[in-house]
Amino acid sequence: MQKHILAAAILGATLLSVGFLMNAKMDTRSDIQRIADAINSNPRSTWRAEESPKDADVAYRRRMFNLVIDDVPAEFDAQPVHDLTSADIPENFDSRTNWPDCQSIKEIRDQSGCGSCWAFGASSAMSDRVCVASGQKDQRRISSEDILECCMICGMGCNGGFLYPTWLNWKKFGYVTGSLYENKDWCKPYKFPPCNHHSEGPYEDCSKYHFKTPKCEKSCPNADYKKAYKDDKIYGKEVFNVKGGEEAIQKEIMTNGPVEAAFMVYEDFLAYKSGIYQHQEGSFLGGHAIKIIGWGVENDVKYWLIVNSWNTNWGDKGTFRILRGSNHCGIEGSIVAGIPKL
């Protein structure tokens, strides 16, 4: 009798173990996938996550979010005072339609497998401001590659950089022209190829790359470009921190063009697909630099319209929206901009 009871107990335990293992094996989702499912099943969520994002290892994720938000340099200029009032600020604003001839504003760059978001947020906003300041005539782009290679006060290259010194260096030493990978229009194109950032696409997955910072070249590697490096420099006339919160940021964008901003990235952001991002799930990864080009309201929820540097495969064709007006994830706390010297 005891043998039968023991056998039954062993059989029951075996079946329980098999059932547990089968259930464990059935849940093959990555941690990002589980986060995405939790967000999409939340009826109160204001955004949608990618159902099956390409997932990279944790070390790669943290390596890519290494922006340092440092103190504002004493050499920075005073923030411009604008004549605009609260009544002048529209409910919706998009720099792409406000300055339709500025091609740089429509451009989505790709930092590839290099922690250079700090260079991309800056170079992209600077390029837009060159065009805006020229009355939409000057289409030159500021080179992300030149900033990455040759800005000695900016940080650690592909291993991260500082938010404010990148702009101060623009005023002191200038940057040459350059745009996307293998682009032949300007002096110094970006050296690293596009890749898939937490998304499906035609490229290699970014986690396969770990590029080292290139050596500073004070020449134009683009043989088709006939201007000398030193003669190709574009300088900033003024550089400044935008303080004062939501309205101050809006007035600055309306007057002079897009700005660079920094925010805190959590794991759920990697799976963003559409809607107005609000952090819900996952651990903190680090700081990230981007470009704010506008704002709007959807279903009574205010948002910032932002361009990322992960090509058009990620998010909403390379852009995303984030909650506006409450400094969500620090998005309104570290804004930097400048006026070009033309």
* Cβ-contact 261, 289 below 8 angstroms: yes
Burial of 82 from C-beta contacts in 10 A (0-12 / 13-18 / 19+): middle
Contact, 337 vs 259, CB < 8 A?
yes
**Catalytic residue chosen out of the listed positions 195, 288, 311, 329:** 288
Helices (H), 101-236: 117-133, 144-150, 165-173
CA distance 252 to 279: 26
Q: Is the pLDDT of residue 286 over 70?
A: yes
Residue 141: pLDDT band (50, 70, 90) is: very high
User: From CA 91, how far away is CA 302, in angstroms rounded?
Assistant: 9
- pLDDT at position 63 is 77
Tell me, yes or no, if 117 is annotated catalytic: yes
Told to judge if 288 belongs to the known catalytic residues of this protein, a careful annotator would answer yes
Phi, psi torsion values for 302, nearest 5 degrees: -80, 145
pLDDT band at residue 28, thresholds of 50, 70 and 90?
Answer: low
Distance, in Å, from the CA atom of 304 to the CA atom of 302, rounded to the nearest integer, reads 7
Q: In the predicted model, what is the mean pLDDT of residues 280-302? A: 97
Whole-number pLDDT of residue 38: 95
Domain boundaries, the chain: 55-341
Which helix H or strand E contains 307, and what residues bound it?
Answer: strand 301-307
Report the helix count and the strand count for the chain, using DSSP H and E: 8, 9
Residues 6 or more apart from 37 whose CB is under 8 A from it? 29, 49, 51
Task: Taking residues 10-32, report their average pLDDT.
Answer: 47
Task: Give the whole-angstrom CA distance, residue 137 versus residue 120.
Answer: 22
Average pLDDT over residues 19-33: 55
Q: Identify the pLDDT of residue 58.
A: 65
Identify the DSSP state of 339. Answer: E
The mean per-residue pLDDT over the stretch 172-194 comes to 95
Please confirm, yes or no, whether 308 is among the known catalytic residues: yes
Contact 158, 148 (CB under 8 A): yes
Q: Summarize the confidence of residues 17-28 as an average pLDDT.
A: 43
β strands within 16-119, DSSP E: 47-49, 93-94
pLDDT computed for residue 62 by the predictor: 72
Listed range (21-35, 88-102, 156-170) with the worst mean pLDDT: 21-35
Tell me the DSSP string of 134-158: TTS-----B-HHHHHHH-TTSB-TT
pLDDT, mean over the chain: 90
Fold exhibited by the domain 55-341: Cathepsin B; Chain A (3.90.70)
Please give the average per-residue pLDDT across 219-248, as a whole number: 96
Over residues 34-78, the pLDDT tens digits come to 999 999 999 999 999 986 666 556 667 777 899 998 899 999 999
Share of the chain above pLDDT 70, in %: 89
- Pick from 79, 65, 80, 133: nearest CA to 104: 133
Give start and end residues of each alpha helix (H) in 165-236: 165-173
**Is residue 139 scored above 90 in pLDDT?**
yes
Residue 247 reports pLDDT greater than 70: yes
Query: Helix, strand, or coil here: 9?
Result: helix
> Beta-carbon neighbour count of residue 56 at 10 Å?
21
At 29 the pLDDT is 60
* Active-site option among 66, 102, 114, 117: 117
Q: Which of 13, 33, 9, 11 is nearest to 21 (CA)?
A: 13
